């Protein structure tokens, strides 16, 4: 009897462990996604919605290193951001607090942006520690930068004191556009084309890093769109599609941050026109309807890939077969952590395939459609052999004007829903925000637009007293904060 009981106990442990290793979606992840879905405004609970179906949303840091060494027009940081000293100990301790809070309140996995001012002002060791902290809390971090640093910085970032690789993969967003002032070699760019060599140089650093140290990477390209550079979007894309980036993100300028740097009428920027210019540069229709990230008035995202020079969407909203594939993905595969090691992911996918064979059938059909759309089997084989299949995502993020956010958020804090059209829209967009920031000190998570429009100014004043700058700074380091705070 004792032997039998022991055997049952061992079998129970093994069964439990096997279930844990193969369960597609962590129950905690599922709970937080369900909560996020329930919190969405009704108009966002669509069949295409990613929030609550596959993710809880993206996250970002704040108040960890607000300073920058560029001067940009417009600038989304408050005027006191550059009065704060970059301090590694402060950065890592605050990230620890924010990430611990996010883990407890938003679940065990998410994408997060290491963002504030200019990330390369952090010492490489502090930067690396920040990324390691984020990963320890189940986050996949992306560092935001103007890209004006040398290869040696990247090497010091990924290698420890003994020369051993401590970060085997990196994710960076490089911000390049003519609103920026201070880049070495081109302090005041005359047009976007003049920045193309710098865009390429930035990507080439990561190619070299991979070749020399085996470090994998993902690169996004960010650009602030203004009335002055909007018409240059097609040329920017046409010239840089093959530079080494996997995402191009465009942010129409808004009246946020330092009002002394608002020089144009940003209300003239029409989102449909910007998207059409993006399509012209991409050489394809960019389908953002089939997978919606939050509110369409805030985000448009087209997921796809290039096969040689042809961009293809992962899914097409014009094909009912793709819509069925999307719905099956959400039902059986939504919420799975795909940013993990293959031996962690594979058992979960095998379990889905065994219990829901329809996923295998529809997946095979989807793959066949993609091969046909790519030009046939032979062309796909050629593309694979020559490394000419490149994942490519196109994004447009639209910020809201600070004054509208202030009014809308104040009413929301009072539990009041506005009927004034602009404020009503602002409240709806805030409730459907895809991008959040943690405030452990008062136990809440806030939308990024609230952070930048309302909370940043007072936060940076307090930080300038906590971390005052030395009296003397060189001229390059004493410039106004960058517009690189834009997110993805």
Residue 342 has pLDDT above 60, yes or no: yes
For 167-205, write each residue's pLDDT tens digit. 999 999 999 999 999 999 999 999 999 999 999 999 999
3-state secondary structure of 261: helix
For 22-63, write each residue's pLDDT tens digit. 999 999 999 999 999 999 999 999 999 999 999 999 999 999
Distance separating alpha carbons of residues 304 and 287, to the nearest angstrom: 9
Q: Is the peptide bond before 74 cis (omega within 30 degrees of 0)?
A: yes
Strand pairing class (139-145; 110-114): parallel
How large is the average pLDDT for residues 459-477?
78
Strand pairing class (180-181; 71-72): antiparallel
- Per-residue confidence (pLDDT) for residue 263, from 0 to 100: 77
**Could you please report the per-residue DSSP string of 460-487?**
HHHHHHHSBPPS---GGGGSPPPSTT--
Q: Is the distance from CB of 119 to CB of 222 less than 8 angstroms?
A: no
Can you say whether the dihedral through the CA atoms of 308, 311, 313, 319 is positive or negative?
negative
- The rounded mean pLDDT for the chain is 92
**Could you please report the per-residue DSSP string of 169-225?**
EEEEEEE--TTEE--TT-SS-SSGGGGHHHHHHHHHHHHHHHHHH--EEEEEEEEEE
Distance separating alpha carbons of residues 273 and 278, to the nearest angstrom: 9
Residue 283 has pLDDT above 90, yes or no: yes
Q: Is the distance from CB of 201 to CB of 246 less than 8 angstroms?
A: no
Helices (H), 241-319: 271-282
* Stronger pLDDT, 485 or 96, i.e. the higher one: 96
Residue 99 has pLDDT above 60, yes or no: yes
For 363-398, write each residue's pLDDT tens digit. 999 999 999 999 999 999 999 999 999 999 999 999
Of the pLDDT bands very low, low, confident and very high (cuts 50, 70, 90), residue 18 is confident
- Per-residue confidence (pLDDT) for residue 479, from 0 to 100: 43
Closest CA to 426 of 223, 254, 289: 254
Tell me which CATH code domain 57-316+391-478 carries: 3.20.20
- Per-residue confidence (pLDDT) for residue 442, from 0 to 100: 94
Residues facing 311 on adjacent strands = 306
Distance separating alpha carbons of residues 18 and 10, to the nearest angstrom: 12
Distance separating alpha carbons of residues 139 and 216, to the nearest angstrom: 17
Q: Is the distance from CB of 130 to CB of 92 less than 8 angstroms?
A: yes
> What's this model's pTM, rounded to 2 decimal places?
0.92
Closest CA to 124 of 97, 96, 143, 102: 143
- Per-residue confidence (pLDDT) for residue 476, from 0 to 100: 44
The structural domains of the chain, with segments of one domain joined by +, span: 57-316+391-478
Q: What percent of the chain has pLDDT above 70?
A: 93
Closest CA to 139 of 102, 174, 173, 91: 102
For the chain, the C-alpha Rg in angstroms (whole number) is 23
Residue 488 has pLDDT above 90, yes or no: no
- Residues in CB range of 259: below 8 A, 6 or more apart: none
Residue 375: DSSP 8-state: T
- Per-residue confidence (pLDDT) for residue 32, from 0 to 100: 95
Helices (H), 265-388: 271-282, 320-328, 342-355, 358-374, 377-385
The H-or-E segment that residue 137 falls in is none
């Amino acid at each position: 009897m004792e032997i039998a009981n022991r055997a049952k106990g061992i079998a129970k442990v093994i069964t439990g462990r096997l279930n844990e290793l193969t369960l597609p979606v962590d129950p905690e992840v599922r709970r937080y996604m369900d909560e996020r879905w329930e919190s969405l405004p009704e108009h966002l609970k669509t069949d295409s919605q990613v929030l609550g179906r596959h993710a809880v949303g993206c996250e970002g840091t704040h108040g960890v290193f607000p300073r920058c060494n560029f001067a940009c027009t417009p600038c989304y940081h408050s005027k006191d951001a550059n009065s704060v000293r970059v301090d590694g100990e402060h950065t890592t301790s605050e990230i620890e607090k924010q990430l611990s809070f996010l883990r407890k309140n938003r679940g065990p996995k998410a994408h997060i942006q290491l963002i504030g001012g200019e990330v390369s002002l952090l010492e490489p060791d502090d930067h690396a520690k920040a990324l390691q902290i984020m990963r320890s809390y189940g986050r996949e971090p992306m560092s935001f930068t103007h890209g004006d640093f040398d290869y040696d910085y990247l090497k010091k970032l990924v290698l420890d004191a003994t020369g051993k690789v401590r970060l085997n993969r990196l994710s960076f967003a490089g911000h390049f556009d003519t609103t920026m002032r201070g880049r070495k070699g081109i302090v005041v760019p005359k047009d976007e084309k003049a920045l193309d060599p710098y865009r390429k140089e930035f990507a080439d650093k990561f190619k070299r890093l991979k070749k020399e140290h085996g470090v994998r990477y993902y690169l996004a390209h960010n650009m602030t769109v203004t009335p002055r550079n909007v018409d240059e979007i097609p040329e920017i894309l046409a010239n840089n599609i093959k530079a080494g980036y996997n995402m191009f993100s465009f942010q129409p300028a808004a009246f946020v941050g330092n009002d002394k740097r608002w020089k144009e009428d940003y209300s003239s920027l029409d989102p449909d026109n910007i998207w059409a210019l993006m399509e012209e540069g991409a050489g394809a229709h960019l389908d953002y309807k089939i997978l919606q990230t939050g509110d369409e008035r805030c985000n448009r995202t087209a997921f796809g890939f290039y096969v040689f020079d042809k961009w293809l969407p992962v899914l097409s909203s014009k094909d009912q077969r793709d819509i069925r594939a999307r719905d099956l993905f959400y039902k059986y595969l939504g919420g799975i952590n795909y940013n993990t090691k293959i031996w962690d992911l594979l058992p979960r996918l095998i379990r889905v395939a065994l219990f829901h064979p329809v996923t295998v059938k529809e997946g095979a059909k989807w793959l066949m459609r993609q091969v046909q759309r790519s030009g046939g089997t032979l062309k796909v084989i050629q593309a694979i052999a020559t490394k000419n299949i490149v994942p490519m995502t196109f994004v447009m993020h639209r910020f809201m004007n600070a004054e509208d956010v202030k009014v809308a958020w104040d009413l929301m804090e009072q539990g009041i829903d506005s009927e004034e059209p602009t404020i009503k829209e602002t409240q709806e967009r805030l409730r459907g925000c895809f991008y959040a920031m943690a405030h452990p000190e008062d136990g809440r998570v806030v939308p990024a637009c609230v952070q930048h429009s309302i909370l940043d100014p007072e936060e940076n004043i307090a930080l300038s007293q906590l971390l005052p700058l030395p009296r003397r700074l060189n001229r390059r380091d004493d410039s106004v904060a960058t517009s690189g705070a834009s997110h993805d």
